[in-house]
Amino acid sequence: MSTPARQIERFLAKYDPAIRPEALAARRLLRKALPGATELVYDNYNALVFAFSSDGKSSGIILSIAVYPRWITLFFLHGTTLSDPKGLLEGSGAQIRGVRLKGGAKDLRKPAVRALIRQAVATAKVPLPKAGGQTVVRSISARQRPRRPASR
């Protein structure tokens, strides 16, 4: 059986070399910001998702990053409840809002984005543990959209 780290390497190998380091950097920054979170990995039909849960369950997910062929989006599972004075959050769903990381992983360091992350953690239904996070690969879709951008 393969370790989560090896599985993640294989998932990211499907992507264009330009997006891979950004995905790894974004994941590393969020692991550092949320050291007690359980990281749930979903290699879905549309995207590779790294979700950060306070209790290891999908119902405890606070935020996630989704890696697409050309960009990465930071999603807040209860984004509609967040105060967003800078107007960064996009989406019109009943619950989820996202921020496309146009500048890649370095966007996660922007004060307004960090404030949204802190707010999401502070308002989580299940408090986030201070330490002890782990990575669990939850699902791998048999059918997937291409992970590299179509040639133009």
Asked if pLDDT for residue 4 goes beyond 70, the answer is: yes
Residue 81: pLDDT above 70?
yes
In whole angstroms, give the CA distance from residue 63 to residue 66: 10
Confidence of residue 89 (pLDDT cuts 50, 70, 90): very high
> CA–CA distance from 66 to each of 26, 44, 75, 137 (Å)?
10, 10, 8, 14
Q: Are 12 and 20 a contacting pair, CB within 8 Å?
A: yes
Burial group, residue 97, by CB count within 10 angstroms (0-12, 13-18, 19+): buried
The tokens of 63 are what? 């935020």
Task: Tokens for 121, please give them.
Answer: 């953690």
- With CA atoms as reference, report the closest residue to 19 among 150, 151, 152, 147: 147
pTM: 0.92
Residue 152 has pLDDT above 60, yes or no: no
Tens digits of residue pLDDT in 10-35? 999 999 898 999 999 999 999 999 99
Average pLDDT over the chain reads 91
**What's the pLDDT score for residue 82?**
95
Parse the chain into domains and list their residue ranges: 4-136
Closest of 136, 98, 140 to residue 10, by C-alpha: 140
The string of DSSP letters for 1-45 reads ---HHHHHHHHHHTS-TTTHHHHHHHHHHHHHH-TTSEEEEEE-S
- Rounded to an integer, the average pLDDT of 46-67 is 95
Q: What integer is the mean pLDDT of 91-104? A: 93
Distances (CA, A) of 24 to 85, 102, 136: 28, 15, 16
Classify residue 13 as exposed, middle or buried by CB count within 10 Å of its CB (0-12, 13-18, 19+). exposed
